[in-house]
Chain A
Amino acid sequence: MSPANSKKWLLLVLLPLGFAGVWELQQRIDIQRRAFEQERDELVLRSGKLVRAMSLEYAPLMADIYWTRAVQYYGDKHARHDPNFELLWPLLDLTTTLDPNLLVAYRFGSTFLSEPSPRGAGHPELGIALLMRGMQANPDYWRFYEDLGFIYYFELKDYQKASAAFAEGSKHPDSQIWMKIMAAKIAAEGESLSTSVFLWNEVYQTTKDPQVKDNAMSHLHLLRVEQDCQQLDALADEFQKRTGRRPARVGELVQAKLLPRLPVDPMGFPYVFGPDGKAVLNIDSPLLEQQLLQQNSK
């Protein structure tokens, strides 16, 4: 083998070894950095105006980058069950300052800024502020009124303002007819299960954002659980009327022909009766944790 050839072979061995080392090292650095960054998240520049000035004519591009960061920031925190969404507002603030017409950013932001922890930052007032800015910059977009009504309805429980928001949005020529109906329904009933289901379903059907969709789906699941439990409780009352005692198991309702089969929650786990005789989620159902979290935040 000539010296040139043996060098070539040596290189062919050394390079994969070197890259294996790089790979290994990178994993360690990642761990190290994660531990060290968790102390506080980094966002050096928080002034949207300054960033916009610095990004010259590329502000929309910068907006896209900040938007991507915002989405990933939320996704990452959410996946790690980290309830601290401190940077969500500055990121969205920067994004929408850089590109005031980035509609998705407002909608995404209004949801996750307002939702209580651990789903969101728990700052409905920031969500509203963001939407107000969105409306000012994009007066032709009626769905911001839907989002505004949403926050008033779900987070702030201010049904008058929620109704007003839907009514305002319904005046928009492009808006859909249900906006008007919602305005009236909320004004009359305040919070109701059917309104909540309708609103989340609307979000679920129309959004393209996977995180927003997931979130809506999870809310819909919990709402269905709520509906199911209400129905089961009603059936248990019926059972008590017939037999004079509360059912201990859901199966007794089936045996009594009150139900065709064992009812299951949206994740496929059968409901059970709690110690107080009320229908509740199965202890194994993953929905239970979400339900508890939601109840705690209320």
Chain B
Amino acid sequence: MIIIGEKINGFIPKTLKAIEARDGDYIKEIALAQQECGADFIDICAGVAPEVEMETMEWLIGLVQEVCTVPISLDSSDPQIIVNCIPLCSQPGLINSVSMEEGKTGTVFPVIADTDWKVVCLTCNQEGIPDDGQTKFAIARDIVACARSYGIADDRVYIDPLVTTLGTKSDSMVSFVEAIELIRAEFPEVHITSGLSNISYGLPYRRGINMQFLCLTMNAGMDSAILDPMDPYMQSVLYATNALKGNDPYCMEYLGAYRDGLLPVKPE
């Protein structure tokens, strides 16, 4: 699993407080802690007003690069901000995210075409967010075709089939899994990722829903997730599902995670 650490995000109240107070130590601390818990990318989302987004991104990128060796995931809904942040990064990372709406791919794809940057692409378009697997897949196919036309190899593309909320739509995960299976069958090299916590919105014991959702979607072929790597419950799902799928000979990784204190129980 490719883990995108979500904690440096201005939409999280504690992080926003640190951003507003320019508390660089807190940012560095959670950046490093996420890397130590196995994050493959450190996501950076300023979550502030558009006028100060660029300077905030620049400040955050500098801090994360001071302490982390893993690459950055540039998280903004403004493709121009993303493009402007690329030269600030010391190594190619991940762009989070683009979609086929409003020419976002047109702004970002030419810039990353001849680089090693990877890109998260959402399955939404001008008509909004589809809630059936077939339409999600059709949009994913358009995205892959568009990326290929810029010479962006399939394994640099991360499709996020945008999960809807279980509380308002009973087949949210069913259609999400259908999309995963269709994408997997046609584009084996493409990565599939998800922000996933939207699934449990409005329901009690959200963690329980999030955990089982992660397990079932990993089983269907999702190979990346945007989550809090410091959450031992999510870690237990990541390691246990990997082992249960037969990908962890002698359960060595699972046992390692236990001994490293990543699981919700203390090692004896």
Q: Do A and B come from one complex?
A: no
